[in-house]
Structure 1
Amino acid sequence: MPSTAAATQVAELVRALALGWKNLAAYPAGHPALVSSLDLVHRRLNDLRGPAGEVVLGIENDGLLYGNDKIDSVSAQKFAQALYTRGVAVLRFAPETEARDIEMFLRLLAAGSPADQKRAIWEDLTAAGIVHINLQPVDYSGVQVTEDLTALPPDEKQPSLWEEILRALMEGNDLSPVAKEFLTRDRQPVTELVKMILQQVEAISAHVKPTFDPDATFGVRMPIHDDSRIAAHARLADAVGNYITSAKGPKKENSLRQAIELLRSLPQPLRGAVLRRVAEALALDHSAGPQLRQLASELPHDEVLEALRYLSSMTDLSPHALTLLQSLTAMQTSTRAEPPSESVIGDLVKLFGEDDIDRFNPPDHAALLEQVSIHVPFAPPPTAAPSETLGKRTETVADAALSRQLGRTIVELLSNLGASSPPQPILARLEHLFRSHLSAGEFDEAFELTQKLNEIATSTTSDELRHAIHESFGRLATPDMIRALVESLQNAPPEKTRALQRLVETLGAGARRNLLLALSEESNRSRRRRLFDFITSLGPVIAPEAVAFLGDSRWYVLRNMIVMLRSVNDRTSLPEMRKLALHRDLRVRMEAIKSLFTLDSGVPIELLENVLTDPDPKVAETAVALVGSAGIKEGVRPLLRIVRGNDIFGSRRSLRVKAIRALGELGDPSALPELQRFLRESLFPWPSKEERLVAWESLAGYPPETRLEFLERGLRSRDAQIRQVCERLPKS
């Protein structure tokens, strides 16, 4: 079971992937159900990604690793096994991953068994043009087979990539004090390294001395600064490339990540020289396919494509590099817009620039027009007929139908315009329509609008349009909009609840958070109850937002959140529940204790006993009453300990009476044998008459078959009050 909010999000992502996998086999490409499921995977991936950017999952044969968490649900185990048997050790989703990439990845994963594969799955991804999902295979380069059990001596410390770069720039000279001080730091920011590199390159080009050349004027050839700068660039590029080539195993992975970080900060043309050399080190290595894919996924595609084209003209590339080159070339071709021919534009300017071609009118036509007159008859405007004359078609001109058709038309307009015009005015009109649908209780229509917008955001190639749609979703989930949704919920019939649930799921975490905010501010009890039930019906997805409210200062908000988390069986909040079990407000404390007993089998019973035996009588009595009203079954034994013995002086009578009532509310038959002394005649003044009468009344809470014997005894009692109590209770 996931133990953190992030692990829960990974589990949600895996469930969405499993649904998308099933829909791939059930529906053709482009089917709305398939598009919706793939879009759900994309949303779950974005929710998990957050500000971190890249999502990295470790693959084991029995689950997935995310940070320090292991996700071992059934879906996660199946997904991990499918990748593990194909030799995958790490799965990376780049920030640019789209729904189309996820669809192709799932199709390749579902294409036969691992034994049917002719090549590695990461090479199939490259051939399909998918560079934003990177699969890293298991690396066995560090494994050595030996018959000697003697421990190997520790490896000699090798210079880091940063040190190799600085030494290459110094051309064999000692490092400067600034460089030595930089290398001794624990943290070595790449921006400072780039600054040192550029300063050193400028210093090298500025201090080149003139050389003797008999063919030059006066036998002296002045240095060309660009030549010395290019040579420095080449030395730096060779240092990076040679370091990556010689590195093995995890060291190669780390050096490549350092090189990518360096490339992002270097200016041109130094960046291009280093990129070519890094690409060469990976493109010529037949086992470096995943690393080359990682390089292509984290740097601009056009720069990686230019480097691979240059290398292909100089040497023979490995098969995986050729496949990546072909994929990047196809991607560039498909996104390139061909400009119109200059000759076509010139011909059009000449054609329409000389004269108006529609104005030509021969003389015989002009003479004919002077002799001809045209009579246009007058037709009176038709009178407006009542809408009832339309019959069954009246519904097609109703306000709801017109609003629905208007929404579809505006969505289609937004899809067709794409990035050709600003989308904000169109989105504002759609937001107004969405609000009107909510006010009118047309939840299916509101849900249809959000679905269409999601499809456009998924399929569009315009970053501006996608960003504008995401901002629009943020406005649809504002507190004001959620208050309108809550008002619609309070007036909606029960059959509309499912449509509202789908709508809230589409609006995402912002809507769930504002629903909880509306619940905390609702003062009407019946409205609060219905809103609470609706939020709980959303299921475990509400847990991360509900946990955020466990720090609220209002006791009733804390109690509602605790009950809600218990209702959806959320165990990620157990650490917070343990803190709330010591809360100063007894009502919060008892609900937290009940959640701990419900969700955690390892809770000690002493936690409950400490509350029931509190030195303050008011606290103890209130706790006893809450045990019964909250239905905490674990309270049976502590309550029985309270009523044991005799209260001769009556100092604890109020607490004992409440404990007997709480036992009746719990209705556990195992408590009846120890309560028998309260349910029979006594020659002594104890147990007190009040305690005995309450014990007889508490029989109403026990199962009928377990109380039958006592009812028959009570009906024969000499006490009239006891007989009346037993007569009111049914025997079966």
Structure 2
Amino acid sequence: MAEEKSCLSLDTKLLSEAIIELNISRHNVSVYPENHPILKRSLNQAFSIFQKLFELRDEVMLAVAKDVIVVDGSTLDKKNPVFRDFASCLGKKNIAAVTFYRGMTEVEMFYFHQFLQKDIGNVSSECIQEVFDSQKLKHIKVSLIDYSVFTLSEKDTEAMEGPSLCELYVHGLLEGRLSAEDTSSMVQKISPRELAVFFNGLAPEEIAEENYTSVITTYVRKTSERRFSGAEMKKIMKFINNLRPELKQQFLSSTINTLSGEGDSLREALCDMGADEVVELLKLINEQMVKIPEALKNVLQKFSQLNNSAYEAVSYGNGIIEDDILFAPEITGLLNNTDFKSFVSDSYQDEIQRLLQQDVKDSNTQWLRAISLETAPEFIERAYSDTVISILRSEITGSIEAEDTEFLLQALKEQAAHFAGTGQYGQILKILDVMGSVSEDLKIQASVEMSDEYFYSPEFLNILISSFRFFGRTSREEVRLICERYGDNMIKPLMDVLADETSQTIRRFILSLITGFGEGAAHEALEKVRDERWFIKRNMLFILFECGNTDQLKKAFSHCSHENPKVAIEAVRCLLKAKDQRGISELRKQMRSSDREVCMKAITVAGTFQVREVVPDLIHMLRKKALTGDEYEDKIPAVRALGLIGDPGAIDELMSILGEKTFFYRASLDKLKSEVRTIMKNHFQERATVQGKRRDWASRWNIR
């Protein structure tokens, strides 16, 4: 079961919530005393989410690279301000990675936050490790960067921007430029944690298969005079335990194969390690499913041979002593099978049997589900927020002390960040509403204005928009109401996110939000359309088309000749919507383009806007003799455009297509004729009959 859990991937949403709540509780530790209700609630929220993660994994490791968090080799959202804040906090303590293990308690989480708040100063990683170890956090471990192990020559000092000297030695060993003899003295100076951090930062393809063994032999380099020791075994174990999962198995396998031939030296090393450390080694081998060579298996088997017959409990008085615990005679009597019925009656056993035979499927568990919902963390958070909102809306607000009001508003600010991170936009709307309708008492108004500054700050807007990217599409109406509440303040941040967004689905969603602002969005689009990147211009022209007024639309003319056809066609659409004659001229230019894709898009736009002025151009395209099957099919968009425009002057030309014949490209011509019949039936049949031009063409060409 443990092996199955270690293979499960973490839920990205659940992991994001855990980091967000962990960072919130970290800030609360620096603000509130240990027993404060807000701090307790914050720690409990973070602890609850970590318990859900521990159902998937026995440990959760967060690696740090500058202000970025890496989990299982994947980088979390680099633009998320919460992730960057937490990563920067760890980086200031020289923490390369922090690992949370199953069994962690809220108290340990609190002391971990206290450690992060300590002002340790500019000291070595060893000193920082000592401070951390003093916290006695059994289920939280950190990996530190120890810069003191690196030494530089005078020449190296002049180039401090380059990689460290130790990194150069290890790289040389991996690339085969340096031998084990050349690198052993330098590599052995690196602490196990630092060496693990270095390898965790490498891509898998940077480590060749033979390099795993060379690193192990170099790191614990032996000479003929010196035997392999237990200290070196512990050193290797510490190095492997700090590696990321996919590297653990490779290095552990190489270690086992390297050490299996040591014989007596290996047995002595295992004896030096102690029973607990040998058990830890065996546990690691089982978790990574590493095959044990026969020689090592024989050595390890000796550690499992215990003489059970020699065991005898130690008596003291009328009791016995087991594991330094004295058991009284009453307890030993209770555990005796002969006295079992004295303590467990037959009626009690019958009651237990009835409970076991009860079919719970027939029970009404609806009340139990209701209780589960009401005790869920999400329900409690919403209930707490609603209670604070009710207090601020009530008539007693004027009698509340300024300090208490500040506490309530601070609580709402924290709740808003939490709701944004979990996509609970309905609660955010409630908080924004109470800020707008709160009592006008002067004592309260100053605090409310300070809170309003936070809700309109770039920090909170970035948190909100980052949340839109993940959860917004499932709550479109609530997101629209939030955007409507913020008004034009939301336009520029949304456009900034749009410029960097790589997902087409999310871009469309953000565009739908921006176009909801009307002319305000068009004004901002005219400012940003000056950007040199073609896709930014295209998006801004699309926003201008959806939101702009006539004067704003006409300003798109300067982009009609853009080198990228996607930008040019958007500019033409703006001019056609504004009924600007220059748009028709530019449209004709694009219809005559030698680029087939540009020509087809221009024809489609002509039909969509029913531009009658281009009917002669479309008829000319139909009259052009087709020499290939593709040229027949290229006439289909022109036929559709003529149908949408509905000009009767095109009837005769369309009729002539029905009379065409070809020997080689019959399938392509049949597609064209089928489109003509559909257009004639839907757009021209009634008009031709009214004008007396039907001439029995409907029955002649099988148009019904």
TM (norm. structure 2) is 0.38
- The structure whose RCO (Cα within 8 Å, separation 6+) is larger is 1
Structure 1 length normalisation: TM-score? 0.37
